[in-house]
Amino acid sequence: MDEQEGKHLQVRLTSKDDKYSVGDSPFSIPSSVTCSDLSSLVNDLLTASNAEHTATEFDFLLVDELLRSSLEDSLSERNLSSEATLEIVYFPKNQAPESDGQIQLNDWISSVDCLGSYILSGLFDNHAYVWTKENGQCMGSIPHNASVKSVAWVRNEDNESPLFLTGAADESLRMWQLFPEDGVCQCVHTYIGHGRSVDCLAVDPTGQRFCSGSWDRSVRLWPAIPDNVGAAANGTSAKRKKACSGTGDVDPVDKQPLLTLTGHSEAVSSVTWLDSGSVASASWDHCIKVWDLDTGVHTATLAGNNVFNSISYSPLSSLIVSGNSDRFVRLWDPRSEAAVVQKMLRFHTGWVSCVEWSPNSEYQLVSGSFDKTICQWDIRSPKAPLYSMTGHTDKVMCVSWSEPSLIVSGGSDSQLRLYKT
């Protein structure tokens, strides 16, 4: 790093990983340095103390925000003093997601969810499909009488014959069990109650219950523990195939809702669990409502100025992220009595159709937009995403980051696109 003429600043560079520590002494550096300059400085210092150090690209955190301009500009933008020693924390930069292939389907993809090596997708061709991540093989095709608008895996201990849910525009909501060795999916339950399209699903992290949201403006709570899975799993392959084709003697059992939550004045577009006793729902009525499942009443309302398309909650950050029709990604604290936006993430140029938190980071999330892009964000960098992923040729309609090392997106170009993280 060149010692430029001009103003200098005192900074202390700190790493939480001893492997990258450069000591506690402050440095005098030009105020014009950027993140790249600081990264070069740290690498030079580490190489000086260890000839075997491998060059690493670092990110730098100044007062809870990632450095994305020169130090001088960053201090000016945030009204921070340049007189005191600046405490800067650094860590290895996240690598860019890598494209891991795509699966070309035959219609718009409205929803997607991942479980291990399986990808579950809902399509406008009135079917849901289960795919293998490795080779894009179709493991099952699930029929409805209208567009499948929502899908979700039920995460439990049985990963050999996993359960999943599908909701459709024909008002139907069903639970299925996948039998990979037979290449079939058997309907276990039908859930009776919604009067219009079932557009969103969210399963309790324990796999005990799930909730659904609909164009009938309601949120409904259901049991996720099936009655007859044991019998189905113990049956012969031939019997299962007959049941899945509709010619067998195993009929799905109808289920009624445990609880119906009303209060939205427009369609419910997204639901997410906050904990085992509360959920949040987003609606086209410009509101997010938080519900207590013990009392069946909403305990908080987060009011926006436009349509909410998607929400996701992170138990690591305790924040809700929302995707809205005005191009912005917003962060909300459902515990705050003020019910105001905590932060806005700006990049997209079209509707933000889908959002989801990283399953293992309190800072990272992914968003998809009608502008054909997918963004990986660190909420400590609100003015620009970590990475913008291209490849879709039309609107991005759904995204899943339910597996730590995989982001999957789907859109109106009928493509499932996979990215390694």
| Angle at 130 (CA atoms; ends 96, 135), nearest 5 degrees | 55
Q: What is the pLDDT of residue 128?
A: 98
CA-only gyration radius of the chain, Å: 24
| 324 phi and psi angles, rounded to 5 deg | -125, 165
Q: How far apart are CA 329 and CA 306, in angstroms?
A: 12
| 245 phi and psi angles, rounded to 5 deg | -85, -5
- pLDDT band of residue 366 (cuts 50, 70, 90) is very high
Q: Is 328 helix (H, G, I), strand (E, B) or coil?
A: coil
Q: What is the mean pLDDT of residues 325-348?
A: 92
Q: What is the pLDDT of residue 229?
A: 60
Closest CA to 82 of 29, 36, 34, 14: 29
Q: What are the structure tokens assigned to 71, written together?
A: 């130090």
- pLDDT band of residue 356 (cuts 50, 70, 90) is very high
Q: How far apart are CA 108 and CA 120, in angstroms?
A: 14
Q: What is the mean pLDDT of residues 34-57?
A: 96
Q: What is the mean pLDDT of residues 223-239?
A: 65
126-173 confidence digits (pLDDT tens): 999 999 998 889 999 999 999 999 999 998 776 689 999 999 999 999
Q: How far apart are CA 177 and CA 233, in angstroms?
A: 9
* 8-state DSSP, 96: P
Q: What is the mean pLDDT of residues 270-297?
A: 97
Residue type, 119: I
Q: What is the mean pLDDT of residues 16-31?
A: 95
**Position 18 pLDDT exceeds 90:** yes
Residue type, 243: A
Separation of CA 53 from chain center: 35
The residues, any chain, with a CB within 8 Å of residue 48's CB and separated by 6 or more, are none
User: Is 372:390 a contact under the CB 8 Å cutoff?
Assistant: yes
Q: What is the pLDDT of residue 135?
A: 86
Q: What is the pLDDT of residue 234?
A: 53
Q: What is the mean pLDDT of residues 211-225?
A: 97
Q: What is the mean pLDDT of residues 166-187?
A: 95
Q: How far apart are CA 132 and CA 266, in angstroms?
A: 36
User: How many alpha carbons lie under 13 Å from residue 69 in its C-beta half-sphere?
Assistant: 10
| Angle at 388 (CA atoms; ends 382, 389), nearest 5 degrees | 150
* 8-state DSSP, 367: E
User: Is 214:257 a contact under the CB 8 Å cutoff?
Assistant: no
Lowest mean per-residue pLDDT among 79-93, 236-250, 303-317: 236-250
75-127 confidence digits (pLDDT tens): 999 999 999 999 999 999 999 999 999 999 999 999 999 999 999 999 999 99
Q: 363 vs 88, 336, 377, CA distance in Å? A: 18, 19, 8
Share of the chain above pLDDT 70, in %: 93
**What's the mean per-residue pLDDT of the chain?**
92
Q: What is the pLDDT of residue 203?
A: 98
Q: What is the pLDDT of residue 160?
A: 81
Q: What is the mean pLDDT of residues 221-239?
A: 69
Q: What is the pLDDT of residue 247?
A: 36
Closest CA to 204 of 273, 153, 266, 144: 273
Q: How far apart are CA 323 and CA 374, in angstroms?
A: 12
